[in-house]
Amino acid sequence: MAAAAAADEAWCRETVPRVMELVSPRLPQRDACALLAVSPWCHRALVANPKLWEVLDLHELKKAGDRLISALSLARYCHLKVVNLEFAQDIDDRHFLHLKEMGGIVLEELEFMNLNACQKISDKGIEAVTSLCPNLRALSIYWIVGSNRYTFSCVRLKDASIGHIVKNCKQIMDLNLSGCKNISDKGMHLVADNYQGLRKLDITRCIKLTDDGFQEVLQQCSALESLNLYALSSLTDKVYTKIGYLANLMFLDLCGAQNLTDDGLACISRCGGLKYLNLTWCVRVTDVGVVAIAEGCRSLELLSLFGILGVTDACLEALSKSCSDGLTTLDVNGCTGIKRRSQDDLIQLFPRLCCFKVHS
């Protein structure tokens, strides 16, 4: 009996840690947390793996606020790099304020925080949480409400939130403000003045923005690689022409840009590295603008012309000459000026095409 007990002890002491070292990197964090309670040996082996505790994933969980406070009180999360609270339930300003008041909690290594759909957070919560994360590089506060359809209603956050972000987090390179309807030109001026190194910006449905505010971003944030302007119908060519100066731009979503003309699109065609371009419902665009894009943006992989009545087969011909080597996704649904084609015909024009939508 003594020999068997000694063998079990040796197996737990020597084999379990080695097994956990191999298995834990492949486990979802929630499974790893469940294994903590299996035995003291599992607990020690898992806690000793710092890579496993660089991510705190509480998305969609209930009582997320209390869970967050409990987790950040544990030493194993001292090297945390990612916090995901997307669609987390039961979390609001008081949880972030409590963390700030606790003292001693500073997430020096945190790089990414996702607060999407945390609908009870206001400017106060943003001030508290960003004060804990001085080296944050990516922040997402994209709010979605409604059970069966997406609507954008981040009405609790105002320009004050942008003020807190730029004051507390100097290293931001990726900022998602999608649906923040109360962010105005003042907020955009703060972004422009403080984040010249910004790489990604999503201001979908930030409907208070005008040319004045966004021009500042384009002038000062010249390193932008991804720009999402979905459903910003108030902007004009005064802004769109300046997008052409973004030499590193690869992703551009202009869906619903009702004031975009061929002149603006011709300027955008200077972005030679552009890979993704969404022109859905850009109703003033014609063949002239799309041909300019075809000739200037030869690295295109995705292009949507959905719902544009002013384009014809001429733009497809231009695209087939200049972009056929890279274009894999093309949407011309609702483009009544483009004749209906079979799959084989489209493949002849665009050999790499794997996703396409044409009107029927």
Who's near 48: CB < 8 A, 6+ residues apart? 17
90 and 194 share one domain: yes
Distances in whole angstroms, Cα of residue 268 to Cα of each of 260, 290, 300, 312: 11, 10, 13, 20
Classify residue 94: in a domain, yes or no.
Answer: yes
Render pLDDT for 235-268 as a digit per residue (tens, 0 to 9).
999 999 999 999 999 999 999 999 999 999 999 9
Confidence of residue 356 (pLDDT cuts 50, 70, 90): low
60 and 36 share one domain: no
User: How many CA atoms lie within 13 Å of 241's alpha carbon, on the beta-carbon side?
Assistant: 7
Which of 101-105, 268-272, 356-360 has maximum average pLDDT?
Answer: 268-272
- Tokens linked to 121: 């957070």
pLDDT at 90: 95
176 and 67 share one domain: yes
Classify residue 6: in a domain, yes or no.
Answer: no
Beta partners for 355? Answer: 329
SS3 79: coil
The type of residue at 287 is: D
d(CA 76, CA 45): 12
Q: Total structural domains in the chain?
A: 3
Render pLDDT for 137-178 as a digit per residue (tens, 0 to 9).
999 998 744 333 444 445 678 999 999 999 999 999 999 999
193 and 100 share one domain: yes
95 and 192 share one domain: yes
Classify residue 21: in a domain, yes or no.
Answer: yes
328 and 279 share one domain: yes
d(CA 262, CA 310): 11
Per cent of the chain over pLDDT 70 is 82
Confidence of residue 347 (pLDDT cuts 50, 70, 90): confident
Classify residue 5: in a domain, yes or no.
Answer: no
Dihedral sign, Cα of residue 151, residue 234, residue 239, residue 334: positive
If residue 264 lies in a helix (H) or strand (E), which one and from where to where? Answer: helix 262-268
pLDDT at 163: 97
62-101 burial, b at 16+ Cβ within 10 Å, e below that, comes to eebbebbbebbeeeebeebbebbbbbbbebbbebbeebbe
Q: Higher confidence at residue 346 or residue 95?
A: 95
Q: For residue 41, what are the domain limits?
A: 14-52
